Structure 1
Amino acid sequence: MNYTTGTGDLQHWLVSEDGFRTEWLGKGEAVFSLGNGYMGLRSVTEEHYANEKRNSFVAGTFNKFAENEVTELPNAADILWMEFKLNGIRFDLTQGTILTYRRTLNLKKAELVREVTWQSPDGNVYDLTFRRFVSMAHLHVIAQRVTITPKQDSTLSLTSGINGQMTNSGVQHFLEGTKRLYDGRFMQQIQTTTESGIDFVFHSVHRFHQRESIEPMSIIKMDRRQIFFDYSDVRIPANETLTIEKYSTIFTSRDHDMTADTTEELASFALNATREVEAKGYDRLFADHVQAFDELVWSRTPITIRSKDMFDQLAIRFAQYHLAVMTPKHDNRMNIGAKGLSGEGYKGHTFWDSEIFILPYYTYTNPTIARSLLEYRYLSLPGAHRKANENGYDGAMFPWESAWLDDGEVTPIWGAADIVTGEATKIWSGFIEQHITSDIAFAAWQYYHVTGDQDFMDRYGYELLIDTAKFWASRLEWNESENRYEINQVVGPDEYKEHVNNNAFTNYTAHWNIQKAIEYVELLRREKPELYERLNEKLDLQATETRFHHVLDLIYLPQVREDGVLPQDDTYLQKEIIDLTKYKNQENVGSLFYDYNLEQVNEIQVSKQADVMILMYLLEDLFSAEIKRSNWEYYEPKTLHDSSLSLSTHSVLASDLGDQELAYDLFRRASEIDLGPNMKTSDAGIHAASLGGIWQAVINGFGGVRMTSGNLLISPMLPKAWDELRFPIAWKGETLDIWATHDQVTVTRRSPSTKPLVIEVYGEKQTILDTFTSEVLSV
């Protein structure tokens, strides 16, 4: 991987690959993946290779293969597929000689470009350039452009079309479907998912240019789940260029804006749309795409870092790029998968990653998208109610893994091999990792206080916060001997500890959830009586409120010991302490399980990821700086960061503690999860939550932006490597531009107002009409 290829206007905008090795295909396929939130394409090459993983996903189109499996995003037909023969020899980078090679993702333009000079086994030489993009302006459109310039007179044969033989690691989610050719040029394939019954309609059409438009000799072919053209005897004189353009579209019956009542109407609509797409041409489509991407990301949320190592600037742009291409901003029935739309990992399911690690990016930069993601949780309440009921509880018990709105819990039951027993390890998260319910409540509360979106609270927010609290009030278990309510047999954020009692993160956030619900029930009764009555009918607020008041002060909250350490759960601090040095210095995550199984790890003081520490990040006003430091010093050495969620959280906390260099080191390590030199980390897809965490490390950590008790705090503390940080944030319906150096911070209201804005800068309240500048204070 090469991160220094950009120059001029593209400096720190390009992520490149300078070598081709089939054993490392997964890295580039994920890191270079393209998308627009509606769909995502793993960036395989046009031609096929061993070890590739050809994935195309459309958000929200979940399907279940069999009753004993869980629903997943189906791997849709491959429309990138193109096979070339030059002078009768297949273009294959494992054969012949690669004279030059570079593949580059242009983050600014969201375009993938592969440039190759290839000498075939017969000694002939060809320059080939492959371009593609997934349009941000036209969500259903994929466009490819290939140019071939031979050094000698040559002929080309091309096979290209739609390949519906794709599987999810062997599982075929589609029925055979139908295939047809229209106008002698437009290939159409229709397939339907086997269980969810979603129609997919694919179209592809080609154009050829050689000085002027040409129509090569061709024959249309169909095979099982395939339709394709064979083009033959396309003559290319030496040093002249042949250009091939391929325009493809994907539509589904799940599309939010689709009014077609039948498969035939959907197919007809999609065909006409594809005709219009081809008529626009590549350059027009690309210009529209670049403009739409810029308006969504780069002009709206520019982040500028002036660093001694400008990889840092590239890293935050890489994070923003992928956050844009993975997020289904077009449809509130959908959310973000743990691998975005870049791979089969985690089956496209949504976790707490979305609310705790990704949502803050949108809450502070594009509240419209943040609201849509939260509305997904509201719309999925029926599944949360069903899970609560099945477990004997009340209220909304959100699934650990979510897919389509009414799917409910979709966490697989069995996972990796147990190194000791040789059996599959049971995945308990879907049963007892329950903190996600309060995580969602926290995210809704945070969104409201940052944006001031009262309409969201009236329509969704109050109900979410009260319904989730209703679950916790029913989940509590009475301990007669201790005269308190407890939460037992859970998995906390540290997933290396299962079936624990009184996990601090779970208990504190459940208590917080109930406390906020009490506040809002009282507010509704006092200030919004009509809304109170409506929710009273749905949630029985009178009885629920009585239960809330009864349990609140009786919930057991683990207390800080004399040494300042907050017990992670009832038994963590009594478990065995071992030397974790080799696991802390591991090259690949999870190396602990080469030596221990999960049952043994459960008895060791070792954590997968931040647990107590993320509690002190989210509910930071409950804990003093001294307590945070004591817990950092105790838990950080025992945390292996085996989850990509962990490093960014610790980076923010290190900033809070005034250790900017450690914070910077952790930020860099988080940035290198996908971008780093390890060529196997991203095979299953990019790490979506880590990318949101990188933004938090920059903005909440080094930028010092926080919201506590409804107030905005800004206290930037840059690492030594940085000279300057500039970024915007959304706050209460307006945009603030923050510029921080080592000496001062300036906060500017992008639209000055006569209404004063009160914020805290380094702990001191400041009133801002247009611009405020403060000297940097040490923490």
Structure 2
Amino acid sequence: MSDWVWEYQGYAPAEERLRESLCTLGNGYLATRGAASETAADEVHYPGTYAAGCYNRLVSEIAGGQVENEDLVNLPDWLPLRYRLSGPDPAAPGPGPWLTPDGEGLTEYRQTLDMQHGTLTRRLRFTDRHRRVLVVEQRRLVHMGDPHLAAQRTTFTAVGWSGTVEIESGLDGAVANAGVARYRDLAGHHLTELRTGVAAADTVWLSCRTSASDVRVAMAARTRVTEGVAATTGQRLTGTGAVRELTVPITSEAPVTVEKTVAVHTSRDAAIADPLCAAVDRVERAPDFAGLLASHHTAWKHLWREGALEVPGEAGRILRLHLFHVFQTLSPHTAELDVGVPARGLHGEAYRGHVFWDELFVLPYLNLHFPEVSRALLHYRHRRLPQACRAAADAGRAGAMYPWQSGSDGREETQILHVNPRSGRWLPDYSRLQHHVGSAVAYNVWQYCQATNDTDFLHTKGAEMLVQIARFWADAAVLDPDHGRYRIRGVVGPDEYHDGYPGAQQPGLDDNAYTNVTAAWVLSRALELTRTLPEPRRRELFERIGLDRAEPEHWEDVSRRLRIPFHQGVISQFDGYQDLAELDWDGYRARYGDIRRLDRILESEGDTVNRYQASKQADALMLGYLFSPAELAELFHQLGYGLDDETWHATVAYYLRRTSHGSTLSGLVHGWVLARARRAEAWRYCQEALAGDVADIQGGTTAEGIHLGAMGGTLDLVQRGLTGLETREDALWLDPVPLPELSEYAVSVRYRGHWGIVLRLRSGRLWIRVPDSEEPPIELRLPDRTLTVAPGESIWLPLPLG
């Protein structure tokens, strides 16, 4: 396979859903899983089409009570195109069976994902019981230029026979959200009021709406024979679908080509009067497949140019796949939408399409390539700031308490119960106590503004979010006279395994180190911002949100006296962590093999992970992901603690031995941190992060949707992690850490009006080129020097031997 191609040879039913996720095509507005067009959803196949931000809420009866969940809706399936052979062979006078990958006679199957051009090609070869050979080649796209269009071109070639091929091209509204096995006991039928019709001789349509959110959805499909003789045609309309029927003569070695073009609109779209009228009009005006393909290729060419990332070898090919899927979820079209960063992309239904904290791992890459997309994603958070303030007030807190899981309107979407697939039991879910998501929102605001110098956003919407999040932390922190420090109690950290103390009646943990340190950082940034805001803007902000001028004095006190627990010379993940029992890691690995989801294993045994020093993923070590060594040491110093290299390295070693890596983010964070703490071990974790979805190391989860945070994070691992690139204090900071396995790479970034700054590592040297422009010179800060590079200049810098 080339660096731009992802290919699967042979049909493997057990891998089909994984391949569907990894072969998803999308454009930031719409995405469709790489499912076979010949089949409907079953245990092997799961066609799914999702529009960004299109959610619906349903109530289910579970464990004797009612549970309400909001889901990203699986829209009507536009893929269906099935076919069968008939006559004139006397031995086969009538039509044969519909040909599918699962039926008899499949002799060849190949799927090819062309990442450079954003297309999926499927090649199938059938030999029926009468020894008639039919070769089928299908090429599919979801248009990156016009986000409302998708198309597939299917070519049929008879080998050594003549007859007819019957083709049905349809829109199927009989769909549900059923792509995740553990959700199947929950309500999943989101679409209602299905209507179908015919718009023209070659066009059928389907419209519906979501049952609770009342989003109207319309699709129109135009199906034409573009190569071959004229076809006998007809339409079939049902209560749940619309089908265009074609019967086409076919002769040996004379291809027959059918083009299906689909337009999709919803009532969430701007500048339309009605989704159905818009869809019908758009599909009628759409060019043929060749025309669509040409403009689609152009749009992808522009994306790859702006998002340039060059890494040789297999690591580079996987990184390109990761970037491909980031683009398909968060493209320039996203900048026009009110959407967040769905944790599983637009690729499946895991996590219900919700928005967690994954923008923390994705926005740093986008900031330096597509800042307009980052800004739109931050607007999603700002529009939901009032809801976050209401949530804080309901909890008896000031400021804004952002939800751990967000969807359409910003309320807390985290489930109250979750099922353990291993035991089948429904259990309380306390992950909503991960209030550190607010710090992630604040961090993203600050990083975006540092990278772009977007003071307009920082002084308005950004300031409002940052200040309200700071207010929440200042109010949540309670002064403990015994310690002489502020404490934040009753939270859950990024680890997620630990949601309470053993035997405690109430959930939550005290003084989670990651939560407290990031809260201190937020308070410091809010103080810095309120001091530097232009006076008119400061006055307006204080008046509008009712901020007392004495509040910042309290923020200052809390930011310097939050408690950070330590034990045995390392940072404690939370207060009391050292009192938990040690787990028999070797014993559990011997018994279960894969113990990534240790929490499920222990619960199925009647035990709980809360009793053990065992983490699902990086928690305290996340601090080394967010902050450079110097910045982290400064934060601890501000809090009155020392954090030297010896303490940090001991902390890294301590938790490395006690982490099961039950999240795809874990390998990413550990690889990032180890690149600076224990370089010889870093590559193992970097490889795990790269292979997370490609190899489905979580054991089946990728089939339910890719892990967007991990994919975006691997891009940033090269862009910022290995270069040490930081954007702060009006400068670019660089502190490269070459790994032997990734000793050569290049990235191109946008920074404060400079388009296409190139950073290239090669032969122990770093090359920096700033393209010619009218912008001011860039200040570079390295560990041993500070210099400026003017537009049009380039410079080679030797790297210290590591």
1:252 aligned partner, one-letter code: T
Structure 1 residues 412-491: aligned runs within 5 Å: 412-417=415-420, 423-430=425-432, 432-491=433-492
Alignment partner, residue 548 of structure 1? 555
Alignment partner, residue 641 of structure 2? none
Which has the larger displacement, 436-445 or 536-545?
Answer: 536-545
Distance in 2 between residues matched to 1:464 and 1:592, nearest whole Å: 34
Decide whether the 8 Å contact of 1:57 with 1:341 is kept in 2. Answer: yes
Alignment partner, residue 703 of structure 2? 683
Alignment partner, residue 664 of structure 2? 644
Are 2:77 and 1:69 aligned?
Answer: no
1:68-123: CA deviation from partner (whole Å, max 9, x where unpaired): 32211111000101111123222122233333221011110110001122212332
Structure 1 residues 704-723: aligned runs within 5 Å: 704-707=724-727, 711-723=731-743
Are 2:676 and 1:663 aligned?
Answer: no
Pair 1:311–1:588, CA change in 2 (3 A): farther
Pair 1:239–1:254, CA change in 2 (3 A): same
1:551 aligned partner, one-letter code: V
Distance in 2 between residues matched to 1:718 and 1:117, nearest whole Å: 47
1:131-184: CA deviation from partner (whole Å, max 9, x where unpaired): 100001000001100001011113111122110111012611111232210122
**1:176 alignment partner, SS class:** strand
Which has the larger displacement, 533-542 or 455-464?
Answer: 533-542
**2:205 alignment partner, SS class:** strand
Distance in 2 between residues matched to 1:485 and 1:721, nearest whole Å: 44
Decide whether the 8 Å contact of 2:28 with 2:327 is kept in 1. Answer: yes
> Which of 156, 174, 178 is the matching residue for 1:148?
156
> Which of 729, 746, 761 is the matching residue for 2:749?
729
Which has the larger displacement, 79-88 or 433-442?
Answer: 79-88
Distance in 1 between residues matched to 2:121 and 2:595, nearest whole Å: 30
Are 2:215 and 1:198 aligned?
Answer: yes
Instruction: Quote the offset at 1:599 in angstroms.
Output: 5.8
Decide whether the 8 Å contact of 2:401 with 2:435 is kept in 1. Answer: yes
Decide whether the 8 Å contact of 1:187 with 1:228 is kept in 2. Answer: yes
Which has the larger displacement, 578-587 or 193-202?
Answer: 578-587
Are 2:275 and 1:266 aligned?
Answer: yes
Distance in 2 between residues matched to 1:762 and 1:216, nearest whole Å: 71
Instruction: Quote the offset at 1:533 in angstroms.
Output: 2.4
Are 2:372 and 1:362 aligned?
Answer: no
Instruction: Quote the offset at 1:394 in angstroms.
Output: 1.3
Decide whether the 8 Å contact of 1:583 with 1:592 is kept in 2. Answer: no
Instruction: Quote the offset at 1:649 in angstroms.
Output: 1.1
1:487-528: CA deviation from partner (whole Å, max 9, x where unpaired): 11111001111121100001111111112212222222xx33
> Which of 672, 690, 693 is the matching residue for 2:713?
693
Which has the larger displacement, 722-731 or 268-277?
Answer: 722-731
Decide whether the 8 Å contact of 2:149 with 2:263 is kept in 1. Answer: yes
Are 2:577 and 1:575 aligned?
Answer: no
Alignment partner, residue 182 of structure 2? none
Instruction: Quote the offset at 1:658 in angstroms.
Output: 5.4
2:694 aligned partner, one-letter code: L
**2:464 alignment partner, SS class:** helix
Distance in 1 between residues matched to 2:77 and 2:497, nearest whole Å: 38
Distance in 1 between residues matched to 2:486 and 2:694, nearest whole Å: 46
Alignment partner, residue 348 of structure 1? 353
Alignment partner, residue 379 of structure 2? 375
Which has the larger displacement, 58-67 or 93-102?
Answer: 93-102
Distance in 2 between residues matched to 1:551 and 1:313, nearest whole Å: 44
Distance in 2 between residues matched to 1:148 and 1:754, nearest whole Å: 55
Instruction: Quote the offset at 1:419 in angstroms.
Output: 5.8
Pair 1:552–1:715, CA change in 2 (3 A): closer
Alignment partner, residue 242 of structure 2? 227
RMSD: 2.1
Alignment partner, residue 14 of structure 2? 23
Distance in 2 between residues matched to 1:467 and 1:94, nearest whole Å: 55
Which has the larger displacement, 768-777 or 699-708?
Answer: 699-708
1:673 aligned partner, one-letter code: G
Normalized against structure 1, the TM-score is what?
Answer: 0.92
Normalized against structure 2, the TM-score is what?
Answer: 0.89
Distance in 1 between residues matched to 2:678 and 2:765, nearest whole Å: 17
> Which of 272, 291, 298 is the matching residue for 1:291?
298
Distance in 2 between residues matched to 1:18 and 1:517, nearest whole Å: 54
Decide whether the 8 Å contact of 2:754 with 2:775 is kept in 1. Answer: no
Structure 1 residues 555-574: aligned runs within 5 Å: 555-558=562-565, 560-561=566-567, 564-574=569-579
Distance in 2 between residues matched to 1:101 and 1:357, nearest whole Å: 36
Alignment partner, residue 527 of structure 2? 518
Are 2:143 and 1:132 aligned?
Answer: no
Structure 1 residues 586-605: aligned runs within 5 Å: 586-587=593-594, 589-591=596-598, 593-596=600-603, 600-605=608-613
Instruction: Quote the offset at 1:270 in angstroms.
Output: 2.3
Alignment partner, residue 307 of structure 2? 301
**1:674 alignment partner, SS class:** coil
Decide whether the 8 Å contact of 2:223 with 2:244 is kept in 1. Answer: no
Which has the larger displacement, 687-696 or 510-519?
Answer: 510-519
Alignment partner, residue 413 of structure 2? 410
Distance in 2 between residues matched to 1:390 and 1:755, nearest whole Å: 48
Distance in 2 between residues matched to 1:619 and 1:765, nearest whole Å: 20
Distance in 2 between residues matched to 1:21 and 1:192, nearest whole Å: 35
2:284 aligned partner, one-letter code: R
Alignment partner, residue 9 of structure 1? none
**1:68 alignment partner, SS class:** strand
Alignment partner, residue 184 of structure 2? none
Pair 1:588–1:580, CA change in 2 (3 A): closer
Instruction: Quote the offset at 1:550 in angstroms.
Output: 4.7
> Which of 772, 777, 780 is the matching residue for 1:759?
780
Decide whether the 8 Å contact of 2:356 with 2:404 is kept in 1. Answer: yes
> Which of 153, 160, 169 is the matching residue for 2:169?
160
**1:683 alignment partner, SS class:** helix
**2:50 alignment partner, SS class:** strand
Pair 1:607–1:246, CA change in 2 (3 A): same
Distance in 1 between residues matched to 2:762 and 2:575, nearest whole Å: 44
**1:342 alignment partner, SS class:** coil
Distance in 1 between residues matched to 2:587 and 2:372, nearest whole Å: 45
Instruction: Quote the offset at 1:61 in angstroms.
Output: 1.2
Instruction: Quote the offset at 1:28 in angstroms.
Output: 0.6
Decide whether the 8 Å contact of 1:24 with 1:680 is kept in 2. Answer: no
Pair 1:320–1:681, CA change in 2 (3 A): same
Instruction: Quote the offset at 1:57 in angstroms.
Output: 0.6
Distance in 1 between residues matched to 2:518 and 2:111, nearest whole Å: 46
Pair 1:272–1:582, CA change in 2 (3 A): farther
Pair 1:104–1:582, CA change in 2 (3 A): farther
1:727 aligned partner, one-letter code: V
Structure 2: segments with no counterpart, 5+ residues? 60-65, 87-94, 179-186, 500-507, 634-643
1:17-76: CA deviation from partner (whole Å, max 9, x where unpaired): 112122221111100001001011111100116421121111111111237322111110
Decide whether the 8 Å contact of 2:495 with 2:617 is kept in 1. Answer: yes
Alignment partner, residue 26 of structure 2? 35
Distance in 1 between residues matched to 2:392 and 2:525, nearest whole Å: 20
Decide whether the 8 Å contact of 1:218 with 1:231 is kept in 2. Answer: yes
Instruction: Quote the offset at 1:220 in angstroms.
Output: 1.2
Instruction: Quote the offset at 1:724 in angstroms.
Output: 2.0
Distance in 2 between residues matched to 1:68 and 1:424, nearest whole Å: 12
Are 2:687 and 1:674 aligned?
Answer: no
> Which of 94, 105, 123 is the matching residue for 1:97?
105
Instruction: Quote the offset at 1:617 in angstroms.
Output: 2.4
Distance in 1 between residues matched to 2:526 and 2:165, nearest whole Å: 68
Alignment partner, residue 247 of structure 1? 261
Q: How many residues align?
A: 747
Pair 1:536–1:584, CA change in 2 (3 A): farther
Alignment partner, residue 767 of structure 2? 746
Decide whether the 8 Å contact of 2:497 with 2:599 is kept in 1. Answer: no
